[in-house]
Amino acid sequence: MNRPKKEWGYSKLGPLNALGRGFLLKLFPITEKYSGKRFYGLDEYKIEDYSLRELFYEIDPDKADNIIQKIKFRTKGNRFISIKTLRIMEINRYMIDKIYEYIKRNIAYNILEIRGTYTEKLLNEI
C-alpha cells in the first residue's frame, strides 16, 4: 500500500496504482449515495463533450479509453489503465481491511468518525 515519493506535481506521493484507481472508481457512486450529493467535478469537467461521469461509468469503455488517451498528461511514462479494467476490478475483503487499517491511522478518520460518517459502511459496500 505504500506509494513511492515523487519530485514534482501536486502530490508528493507517486501515482495511484490500478487497485487505487479501481477503488476510487467504485467508491465515488457509493459516497454519492450516502451523502446525497454528487461530486461536482464528475459532471462539470468535460473532455470532448463527455463528462467524467460519462467517461468513467456510462459510455463504452473502448470509446472512453480512446478519449482519455488523447489527453496530454504531464507524467513520466505511460500510466494508462483502461476504464474496462477499472470497472471490472474486484476489491476483496483483504484489500478492504488493509485500506481500513490505513484510514484508521489517518487523523482525518477520527474527525470523520466523530462527525458520524459511515466510513466502515462505505468500505463494506464496495
Above pLDDT 70, what percent of the chain?
A: 69
Does 63 have pLDDT greater than 90? yes
- H or E segment at 51? strand 50-51
What pLDDT, on a 0 to 100 scale, did the predictor assign at position 85? 92
What's the whole-model pTM score? 0.67
What pLDDT, on a 0 to 100 scale, did the predictor assign at position 83? 93
Contacts of 16 (CB under 8 A, 6+ apart): 3, 24
For residues 26 and 21, what is the distance between their CA atoms, to the nearest angstrom?
Answer: 9
